[in-house]
Amino acid sequence: MYNRLRLKVSIEAIKWLTFQACALSGHDEGPDLSNQGNFLELIKLLASYNKTIDDVVLENAPQNEKYTLPDIQKEILCVLATYVRKAIREEIGTTKFCLIVNESQDESKKEQMAIVVRFVDRDGHVKERFLDLIQVKDKTSSTLKNEIMCSLSYHKLSVQDIRGQGYDGASNMRGEWNGLQALLLKECPYAYYINCFAHQLQLALVGASKDVTEVHNCFKTLNFIVNVITSSSKRRDQLQDAQIAEISHLIEVDEIESGKGKNQIRTLQRPGDTRWRSHFKSICSLMRLFGPSCVVLTNIATKGFYIFSKR
């Protein structure tokens, strides 16, 4: 009975944190800390409002039956993920579906492939469901195809039911002969490939802007300034010092207000070809940091610093 209650509290805490997209573990969960992370602090909160729970969790639980270790948390998450995938599979049923796939590196530089299915449910509504996240050893089309086939087989989805493929424009994805879309077309001739409209629009905007000399020169200069200032840790420190000096002066002359969360130290944003919005953010960042950026560039010009880092 007590074990069941302890486990139930851990499950409910994990479900709530996962639904709210909150991290479970803290940086340090030592017993002497005032903040041990979201998971343990939530259990403490539940215990503070319910004496029955308080009597059986954390310090009041046996040493080997707390159900709070990271391994237990991961196991509970895996069980919850299995139930979510099962619900998605039941929602798809026997209908046809489309695949939306993207691969990218995570923070640890490991290649991961996300698989999303798009289908029409029994009520005639178009649904998109995140089905799987798979770590892949490389980004070759054959590797991606094999992993997709394994995932579909695991979820008891037939490749013959695929009616569309949506990827970006990378050669390993859209290649006419050996790309992922071509390999899947050999398995199912009805799996028509459509390039990602978001990427198409972004690349079209970037391409169109390059045909306008003034716009092209503007972003070329912008990218050059960002590269010069952010390519060196020394210059980034100079940018930060210049910001601090500017903010201190503006506060002193009562042009800006001070307070918690205000006047944060920022950095320049680099524009990217696949995200047109990043160009706008890059311009805004330079406008906000125009004064400090001028200080850094002046130092480079007058004190003889190298524009580019030494190779």
Query: Is the four-CA dihedral 58, 62, 68, 70 of positive or negative sign?
Result: positive
Check pLDDT > 70 for residue 182.
yes
SS3 200: helix
Radius of gyration of the chain measured on its C-alpha atoms: 27
β-pairing verdict for 193-195 and 162-167 = parallel
Average pLDDT, the chain: 81
Which pLDDT belongs to residue 102? Answer: 80
- Percent of the chain past pLDDT 90, that is, above it, reads 0
Q: What is the third-level CATH fold of 93-195?
A: Nucleotidyltransferase; domain 5 (3.30.420)
Question: Beta partners for 162?
Answer: 97
**Host H or E run for residue 114:** strand 111-120
Which pLDDT belongs to residue 192? Answer: 87
Which pLDDT belongs to residue 198? Answer: 63
Residue scoring higher pLDDT (304 or 73): 73
Confidence of residue 311 (pLDDT cuts 50, 70, 90): very low
SS3 56: coil
SS3 116: strand
Name the CA dihedral angle for 50, 53, 56, 61, rounded to a multiple of 10 degrees.
-100
Domain boundaries, the chain: 2-78, 93-195, 207-303
Which pLDDT belongs to residue 167? Answer: 80
CA dist., res. 236 & res. 22, Å (int): 31
Running DSSP on this structure, what letter comes out for residue 269? P
Confidence of residue 261 (pLDDT cuts 50, 70, 90): low
Check pLDDT > 80 for residue 26.
no
CA dist., res. 97 & res. 90, Å (int): 13
Check pLDDT > 50 for residue 90.
yes
Are residues 35 and 26 in contact, defined by beta-carbon separation less than 8 angstroms? yes
Which pLDDT belongs to residue 310? Answer: 45
